[in-house]
Amino acid sequence: MANTSIEEFCRKLPKVELHAHLNTSFSMTFLNELLRKSGNLNGVSLEDLHLAEAKPLAEGFAIFSKLHQVFRTEETIYQLTHSVIREFAEDNVKYLELRSTPKHIPETGLTRDIYMQTMVRAVQDCQKEGVDITVRLLVSIDRRQGVEVAKIAVDLAERWMKSTQGLVIGMDFSGDPKVGDASDYIPVFLDAARRGLKLSLHLAEIPLYKETKKVLQACCGHCVLRIGHGTFLHRYESNQGHEEIEDLVVQWKIPIEACVTSNILSKTVNGPGSHHFWYWHRKQHPVILCTDGKGVFGCLLSDEYYRVAKEFSLGREDLVSMALSTFDSIFESDDLKQRLRDILRSFCEKEQVAFPNINTSKEKMSTYCCV
């Protein structure tokens, strides 16, 4: 076996990142460089942001709002997107789904279309430069902005999906979970699905059982769907009477995007040992480690793998199996999923680690909620 520590093994491991918000996924190197050039950005200083510190979820959203004041021009959106893609590639992320809410800021000349055009241009430039990563984009719906703005986002996403031949691949639903009701957006979700857009929905980030149940009952069987966070989906003492939510998730094998460090720092879980990742992993349910916002929460995807490896005493073969299990949950074709498996197989040969003996038949592969 190659003489590699578990921490270094996690860094070398080919991975996929399926829950990354553009405006919170910067690196400190990138942000410091922006500050060096400009002194401060629209009145926001590095000290204002209190990054990688534990704080209640509401305080986290206040920081996100400050960051939106930093990235508000075409130039900064391009620089941020380009930098984030390169940084994920350096962490051996081979497939990235990057999400963001297109902004309309008249004073800087930024429109939603220019925002999308800028992100797409950064992705395409990284491809031309040979950056070793496949990137797809998700257009975000911010639940704080209301249903009518969400409808505009669906139109935008469909238009860019068609014009980029699938580089824009789906939609994210996110924002402060204490604002509004996700079930109000069910017609929007179903409309997006009818247009061929995949959906990643922030659900059950906090205990919101009624809206979670309504959304899942409406979308299961009609949407290609993943759940972001899903902290309060599963059975536990304070969730008695809501078992049908977990039953729906299990029945439809809906993948869960688990953001361990983010949830700990946001204080929605007490620590890695109590995180719902392990609950779903032991059930052999599709669950994918993600960073959420690697800049705000101070974590690389490799760090998330290492944190879980330490907490649950996982070895190299366990980590390979975990990475392999994530590939089936990407919003992409079977051909690309197989390419990711081949990359992982080559890595295992180099590291002298056994590649899992998997049955790739449709019956055995992890499937998820789709038409």
Round to whole Å and give the CA distance between 101 and 112.
9
- Go through 27-66 and write b for each residue having 16 or more CB atoms within 10 A of its CB, e for each that does not: beebbeebeeeeeebeebeeeebebeeeeebeebbebbeb
Q: What is the DSSP string of 80-142?
A: HHHHHHHHHHHTTEEEEEEEE----BGGGTB-HHHHHHHHHHHHHHHHHTT-S-EEEEEEEEE
Are 225 and 201 in contact by the 8 Å Cβ rule? The answer is yes
How many CB atoms lie under 10 A from the CB of residue 331? Answer: 21
Q: What is the DSSP string of 14-65?
A: -EEEEEEEGGG---HHHHHHHHHHHSSBTTB-HHHH-TT----HHHHHHHHH
Q: Catalytic site residue 311?
A: no
Kindly name the residue from 97, 158, 205, 246 that is annotated as catalytic: 205
Round to whole Å and give the CA distance between 38 and 53.
25
- Taking CA atoms, 349 is separated from 322, 337, 343, 356, in Å, by 17, 19, 10, 12
Instruction: Give the 3-state secondary structure percentages of the chain, helix then strand then coil, rounded to 5.
Output: 50, 15, 35
Q: Which residues contact 210 (CB under 8 A, 6 or more apart)?
A: 183
The closest of 53, 118, 107 to 84, measured between CA atoms, is 118
Are 169 and 138 in contact by the 8 Å Cβ rule? The answer is yes
Structure tokens at 54: 């534990």
Angle at 206 between CA 143 and CA 281, to 5 degrees: 115
Angle at 371 between CA 225 and CA 19, to 5 degrees: 15
Are 60 and 102 in contact by the 8 Å Cβ rule? The answer is no
Strand bridging mode 168-174 / 134-142: parallel
Q: What are the catalytic residues?
A: 205
